[in-house]
Amino acid sequence: MAIMNATSSRPIIMVVDDDSDLRFLLTEAFGLAGYEVITAADGQEALEVYETNHPALVVLDVMMPDMDGWEVLRELRARSDVPVLMLTALSRESDQLHGLEGGADDYVTKPFSVHQVIARVGAILRRTGYGGKTIVCGPITLDAAAHEVIVDDRLIPLTGREYTLLEVLVRNPGRAFTRAELLARCWESGYMGVDRVIDVHLASLRRKLGKRRNMISTVRGVGYKLDVS
């Protein structure tokens, strides 16, 4: 599995294809477009990676050995309603309808341009409402559409960095993040600053959370996590 870091407020895209060159091409393209990317080289790995990362959308090749894209799609649909964009060399209408009837959200036939794939992914995410959902984690409510945070019915004014850091923690309650991981998710690619900048922003975020400041805990030797117990 390969991971391309990006800002956490962007969706995670999972690319599933047995062609390593194509995986690399799409990973680079999605990364440049600002997405976070995870990949899988076959169907079984795709299902395992999905359960671990829960991406916002899956780009899924049809023609794979052992477990083809149709079977992976059936397994995904049995588990969730995650949007799926199929990549297929099968251009017949019946094949495309098979994918859509099986639960795919859209398809792109090979050969394709990466710009076409990125445009389709963006359209699917907008259509399915990603980024416009309200996330509730204990007393914290994060309105992704309005870019607002409410704690105990009180609107908390946050800077862009503070909001992005809190979003990472709220989307992953109980998970400990290292400073390096938070830096990679919340700062632009290529940022050369020190990871202790995370401490400064989280100290400010804690102050603004008031009596809920202890929900963001320090994990000795690791970094930070959001406690919801």
What ranges do the domains of the chain cover? 3-128, 135-226
Q: What is the pLDDT confidence band of residue 88, given thresholds at 50, 70 and 90?
A: confident
- 4-8, 19-23, 95-99, 218-222 — which is least confidently predicted? 4-8
Q: Which fold has domain 135-226?
A: Arc Repressor Mutant, subunit A (1.10.10)
* Whether residue 39 has pLDDT greater than 50: yes
Q: How far apart are CA 72 and CA 42, in angstroms?
A: 9
CA distance 28 to 1: 14
Q: By the 8 A CB rule, do 34 and 214 touch?
A: no
- Decide: 100 and 125 in contact? Cβ < 8 Å: no
Burial group, residue 51, by CB count within 10 angstroms (0-12, 13-18, 19+): exposed
Residue 215 has pLDDT above 60, yes or no: yes
For residue 161, the surrounding DSSP H or E stretch is helix 160-171
Could you tell me which of 196, 194, 56, 199 has the C-alpha nearest to residue 128?
Answer: 56
Q: Say if CB 86 and CB 60 are below 8 A apart.
A: yes
Are 207 and 157 contacting, i.e. CB atoms less than 8 angstroms apart?
no
CA 131 to each of CA 18, 44, 55, 83, 147: distance values in angstroms, whole numbers, following the listed order: 30, 28, 13, 14, 9
3-128 folds as: Rossmann fold (3.40.50)
pLDDT of residue 92: 56
